[in-house]
Amino acid sequence: MVEDGTKENEIRIEKPTVDEYKEKRKIVHIPLVLIWDNAPADYVKLVKEYWNEVKGQIDKLTSKLGGVDKIYHEFFYLQGGEGEDELNSLKDINENSYEIVKKFVTNGAKLIQTEDKYLSEVCTDWERCLAIGLTSNEVRSKLSEFYIDASNKRYRFIADMIDKTLGEDEIGIIFFSENHWIPFPEDIEVFNLTPRRLDDIHNWFRDNLYKIQSLLNTKE
């Protein structure tokens, strides 16, 4: 729900008071949930239901706050390319979020470069290093330092891009993983979209941990 008086609002959704956010910069965070190749059918079903719920909630929220002006997306690096090329690059990342973005871009929203490719790849590689079985606490500690430093640089770049491109009284949407560390500018009102299906997806991962590990090992 929308909690008045807080900087960051979790939404399950009640009607916000439009005047409360008038002339403020606003951004809606939508957790980016992906489907990998050969994912189990029950997981795929949950994810599709999740994105259907997202569509309904974002329509309700923007109908109260206003139309979407800017769109940001995890792993989106393009800048100054042709519109169709930019949209197609999103389709390669996640077809479900692509469909939502395409609708808003058609209605006039602008898709903004969100990430620096180099910073994102460095962060991802350190994360992969941490994911392997390490026997040395010293090595793990050092890798953690590298990962945290890379993550801070990555998220600072994203925050700066949002700050430079989201204008006064504009509304942005950002599709990004749940556990991000993006330091949004203090004058931006942040709304976290949390569809109920997201809890079901969390539960699925908890209940199917060994199945996931087995699939990943097979893929390797």
What residues contact residue 113 under an 8 Å CB cut-off, 6+ apart? 76, 77, 78, 79, 161
Return the closest-CA partner of residue 117 out of 163, 161, 68.
Answer: 161
- Helix extents (H) in 166-208: 197-207
pTM: 0.84
Q: What is the Cα gyration radius of the chain?
A: 18
What is the side-by-side strand order in the sheet with 25-31? 8-11, 188-193, 25-31, 171-176, 70-73, 110-111
pLDDT along the chain (220 residues), means of 10: 45 53 88 90 95 94 89 86 72 92 93 95 93 88 95 96 96 94 94 93 88 58
Q: Tell me, what's the pLDDT at 37?
A: 85
Q: Tell me, what's the pLDDT at 78?
A: 77
Q: Tell me, what's the pLDDT at 13?
A: 43
Q: Tell me, what's the pLDDT at 105?
A: 93
Per DSSP bridges, beta strands 70-73 and 25-31 are: unpaired
Q: Tell me, what's the pLDDT at 216?
A: 54
